Amino acid sequence: MFKKLRADINAAKQNDPAARNKFEIFLTYSGVKALFWHRWANFLYRIKLKLLARITSQYAKWRTGIEIHPAAKIAPGVFIDHGAGVVIGETSEIEEGVVIYQGVTLGGTGKEKGKRHPTIKKGVIISAGAKILGGFTVGEYAKIGAGAVVLKEVPAYATVVGVPGRIVRINGEKVSDLQQEKSDPLQEEICHLRDKIFELEEEIKELKSKNK
């Protein structure tokens, strides 16, 4: 467990330019503390002491503002920056090098069974307030924009923004609208409203021409 703690501290030192030294990180960084408590809670969960594991995770939530289910699988070398309001669900899996900012939720939609929470691959950056909901995979080194709501799989090296989340770049190259999935319900509703407005404008023009 202490080897994993060292990896978490190193991740914080590497990703936070405000970090001055490892001792300060160990004493003051809530994300590092939350992960330390999670390692212990996860151990208790795996040896079937599930109630004690949940009590430990709730204690860590009270101390740090970060809620991590004890069954979640988190590799060493993850960095939770600031961390207030972060929620990580039961079947979440997070690989090394992932950076998570405050207000992030790795949750479910309430409709799945079994694997209900996302798998976050190596090197992913999840910006403040983003919500990733469902049992799909976010590919290596993807970037999730602040406030994005991601409801479907994200390929490696993609950048996702918006509500619902849309891929805007892959490997640094822009993705055109033609490459986006056609069945986006929000886009369809906007297109429907635009067409309706056009029809109403035409009807108003016809009425004005008759009244002249």
Query: Mean pLDDT over residues 131-150, rounded?
Result: 93
DSSP 177: G
Clarify whether residues 141 and 168 are in a common domain: yes
pLDDT at 182 over 70: no
118 within 8 A of 135, measured Cβ to Cβ? yes
Percent of the chain with pLDDT over 90: 55
Residues 137 and 164 reside in one and the same domain: yes
Which of helix, strand or coil describes residue 136? coil
**8-state DSSP, 154:** B
Q: Which domain holds residue 199?
A: 182-212
Task: Provide the β-strand partners of residue 87.
Answer: 67, 105
187 shares its domain with 105: no
Residues 211 and 127 both lie in one domain = no
Please tell me the predicted confidence (pLDDT) of residue 205: 77
Count of C-beta atoms within a 10 Å radius of residue 114? 6
Query: Is there a single domain that holds both residue 62 and residue 144?
Result: yes
Say if residue 117 is in the same domain as residue 187. no
Based on the structure, what is the number of domains in the chain?
2
Q: What's the pLDDT band for 178 if we cut at 50, 70, 90?
A: very low
Which of these, 63, 88, 84, 57, lies nearest to 74 by C-alpha position?
Answer: 88
Note whether 99 and 200 are same-domain residues: no
Span 115-131, mean pLDDT?
93
pLDDT at 126 over 90: yes
Instruction: Identify whether residues 71 and 47 lie together within a single domain.
Output: yes
What tens digit of pLDDT does each residue of 31-60 get?
999 999 999 999 999 999 999 999 999 999
Contact 114, 104 (CB under 8 A): no
Q: In whole angstroms, how far apart are CA 93 and each of 119, 137, 138, 181, 210? A: 5, 9, 10, 26, 66
How far from each other are the two terminal CA atoms of the chain, in whole angstroms? 83
Decide if 76 contacts 97 (C-beta within 8 A): no
Amino acid at residue number 116 = R
pLDDT band of 187, cuts 50, 70, 90 = low
